[in-house]
C-alpha cells in the first residue's frame, strides 16, 4: 500500500503540492471514484487512477528502447551537451521520472540503447561477470584481412595490459562488418579496430543481450516501450 499523493507523483501527474491541489479540486479519480484525501492508502499494483480522462496504472519498473541518434551524449544530464534523456523526455513526457540509460554509447555512435529504472537489471546487463553480448555494425576506412579478423576474434591489445576478450566478427569483404563483444571498455570497439590498423568511420549498436534493433520499426531517434524486459516487441 502507498499514499495516494506519493503514487500520483510517481505516475508523473504532478509534484506533491500540485497533486494535492488536484485532489482538493476533485480532479483525481481512484477506481472510478472521486478522491480527495492525499493521505489515503491505495494498492499501487491494482489501482487505476484517472485524470483528465486518461487512465494511469503503476508499474514498478519501466523499460524503453531508443535508437540513439548522433550528436547526443549518453547521460541523464549535462551542462553543455544534449543528452539521450533530454531526447527521451521530449518524446515521452508522460514517462516515469528516474529513468536512466544502461551503459554508454559515444556521442557519434547510434543504435540500440536500453533505458530503465530497474537498477538490478542495469547492473546485471553491465557486469563483466555476466558476459552480456553487444553487437555493432561497423563502417571502416578500409578492408580487413583474414589476419585482422583472426586477431580481433582472439583478442587484441588496446593499451590496458591484457588482451581484449575474444570477439565474434562477421565479415564478407568491403569496409563493413559486425562485431560482437561482451566487455565494455572505454571506446573499446574503436580501439580494437585501431589495433589492427583500421579506423572506425561509423558505429551502430544493433543488439544488446536479448534485445535486437529493428530499424524498420524504430528509426534513428525514436523510442518504444517494452511490455517487459524480455519482450522483443517494439
Q: Which residues are catalytically annotated?
A: 106
Distance of alpha carbon 117 from alpha carbon 134, whole angstroms: 20
Find how far residue 12's CA is from the centre of its chain: 20
Residue of 232, 198, 234 whose CA lies nearest to 216: 234
H or E element, residue 160: none
**Which residues, 6+ apart, have CB-to-CB distance to 230 below 8 Å?**
210
163: which DSSP letter?
P
Residue of 111, 195, 113 whose CA lies nearest to 160: 195
54: which DSSP letter?
E
Neighbours of 209 (CB within 10 A): 18
Distance of alpha carbon 95 from alpha carbon 98, whole angstroms: 9
Q: Is 181 helix (H, G, I), strand (E, B) or coil?
A: strand
| Strand pairing class (200-208; 134-140) | antiparallel
For residues 84 and 66, is the Cβ–Cβ distance under 8 A?
yes
128: which DSSP letter?
G
SS (H, E, C) 17-29: HHHHHHHHCCCEE
Amino acid at each position: 500500500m502507498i499514499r495516494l499523493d506519493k503514487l500520483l507523483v510517481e505516475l508523473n501527474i504532478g509534484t506533491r503540492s500540485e497533486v494535492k491541489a488536484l485532489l482538493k479540486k476533485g480532479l483525481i479519480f481512484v477506481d472510478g471514484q472521486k478522491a480527495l484525501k492525499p493521505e489515503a492508502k491505495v494498492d499501487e499494483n491494482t489501482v487505476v487512477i484517472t485524470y483528465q480522462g486518461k487512465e494511469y496504472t503503476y508499474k514498478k519498473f519501466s523499460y524503453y528502447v531508443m535508437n540513439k541518434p548522433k550528436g547526443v551524449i549518453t547521460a541523464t544530464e549535462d551542462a553543455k551537451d544534449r543528452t539521450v534523456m533530454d531526447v527521451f523526455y521530449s518524446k515521452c513526457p508522460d514517462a516515469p521520472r528516474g529513468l536512466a540509460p544502461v551503459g554508454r554509447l559515444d556521442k557519434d555512435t547510434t543504435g540500440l540503447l536500453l533505458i530503465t529504472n530497474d537498477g538490478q537489471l542495469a547492473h546485471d546487463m553491465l557486469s563483466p561477470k555476466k558476459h552480456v553480448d553487444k553487437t555493432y555494425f561497423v563502417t571502416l576506412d578500409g578492408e580487413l584481412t583474414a589476419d585482422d579478423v583472426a586477431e580481433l576474434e582472439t583478442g587484441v591489445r588496446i593499451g590496458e595490459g591484457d588482451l581484449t576478450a575474444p570477439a565474434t566478427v562477421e565479415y564478407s569483404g568491403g569496409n563493413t562488418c559486425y562485431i560482437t563483444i561482451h566487455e565494455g571498455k572505454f571506446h573499446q570497439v574503436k580501439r580494437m579496430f585501431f589495433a589492427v590498423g583500421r579506423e572506425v568511420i561509423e558505429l551502430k549498436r544493433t543488439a544488446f543481450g536479448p534485445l535486437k534493433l529493428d530499424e524498420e520499426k524504430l528509426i534513428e531517434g525514436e523510442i518504444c516501450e517494452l511490455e517487459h524486459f524480455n519482450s522483443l516487441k517494439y
